[in-house]
Structure 1
């Protein structure tokens, strides 16, 4: 089954509202995905930085990527799941 979407989670800044947005600019998507890489310095030390960039670029061109700025209040988890499911519903 192909990936329906990637949702990057972030906290809104002080005074900012919650926001769910689809990232449209491929360069922005590659940058956002790059910020999520676990231990990027290890990948760079192993010479895998070009491979990681290639994967990020492939994802940017084929999978919808969203950024969801929201408060991390777990009493609202049901609503979160509904919103994520709506993003990937056929």
Structure 2
């Protein structure tokens, strides 16, 4: 008699989940990436331009707003005097 052959399948290798990338390593690689560096420099330039524009707008608008406020205050005082009985 022949011995029965066992048809046991070999144990499959346990799949090792891929290792999560090291955030520090990824961050450093990103900083050294020339496209990231260029984008960062461009964003900095845009930010600085926006700040300069904001300062210029403040410089131009503030005196006008102050003038308007003074006129409104004067008109309010005049109207208040007209409404008060003498």
**TM-score normalised over the length of structure 2:** 0.23
**TM-score normalised over the length of structure 1:** 0.22
* Structure index of larger Rg: 2
| Larger strand share, 1 or 2 | 1
| Larger helix share, 1 or 2 | 2
